């Protein structure tokens, strides 16, 4: 089966741009939390710390997704896109349409 590399490249580039825009908009969410109790109550500070921790984890996950996208774009350039990196079998088109950055077929992903 021949893959439409341009279609998947466009999907990946659009997703990358979207992630970068969201990361830029949320860049202040991981700033240090103020510890001055005279200005911020204990519960408010705890909420802020929890929000900061969640923002850091979300940022980490977005970074992982950006690396997956970069890897998929490199596979497109190398014409290795659409093939499982574990077994070399073709990844079903429906799986790629769901997540163009996926690297393995369903069988290998289940192992």
92 in a structural domain: no
105 in a structural domain: no
- What pLDDT, on the 0 to 100 scale, is given for residue 53? 87
Boundaries of domain holding 58? 5-81
- Give backbone dihedrals phi and psi of 36, rounded to 5 degrees, phi first: -75, 105
State whether residue 71 is helix, strand or coil.
helix
Could you say which residues of the chain have pLDDT below 70? 1-2, 28-43
The answer to whether residues 86 and 77 touch, using CB atoms and an 8 Å cutoff, is: no
State the DSSP code for 104. Answer: S
- What pLDDT, on the 0 to 100 scale, is given for residue 96? 94
102 in a structural domain: no
Q: How many domains does the chain have?
A: 1
69 in a structural domain: yes
- Give backbone dihedrals phi and psi of 102, rounded to 5 degrees, phi first: -65, 145
- What pLDDT, on the 0 to 100 scale, is given for residue 18? 95
3 token code pair = 């893959």
- What pLDDT, on the 0 to 100 scale, is given for residue 26? 80
Q: pTM for this one? A: 0.78
- What are all long-range contacts of 91-99, with beta carbons under 8 Å and residues at least 24 apart? 93/1, 93/3, 96/3, 96/8
């Amino acid at each position: 089966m021949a893959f439409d590399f341009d279609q998947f490249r466009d999907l990946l580039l659009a997703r990358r741009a979207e992630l970068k825009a969201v990361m830029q908009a949320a860049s202040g969410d991981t700033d240090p939390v103020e510890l001055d109790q005279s200005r911020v109550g204990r519960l408010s500070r705890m909420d802020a710390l929890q929000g900061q921790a969640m923002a850091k984890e979300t940022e980490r996950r977005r970074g992982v997704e950006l690396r997956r996208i970069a890897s998929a774009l490199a596979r497109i350039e190398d014409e290795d896109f659409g093939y499982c990196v574990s077994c070399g079998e073709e990844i079903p088109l429906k799986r790629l349409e769901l997540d163009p950055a996926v690297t393995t077929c369903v069988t290998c992903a289940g192992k």
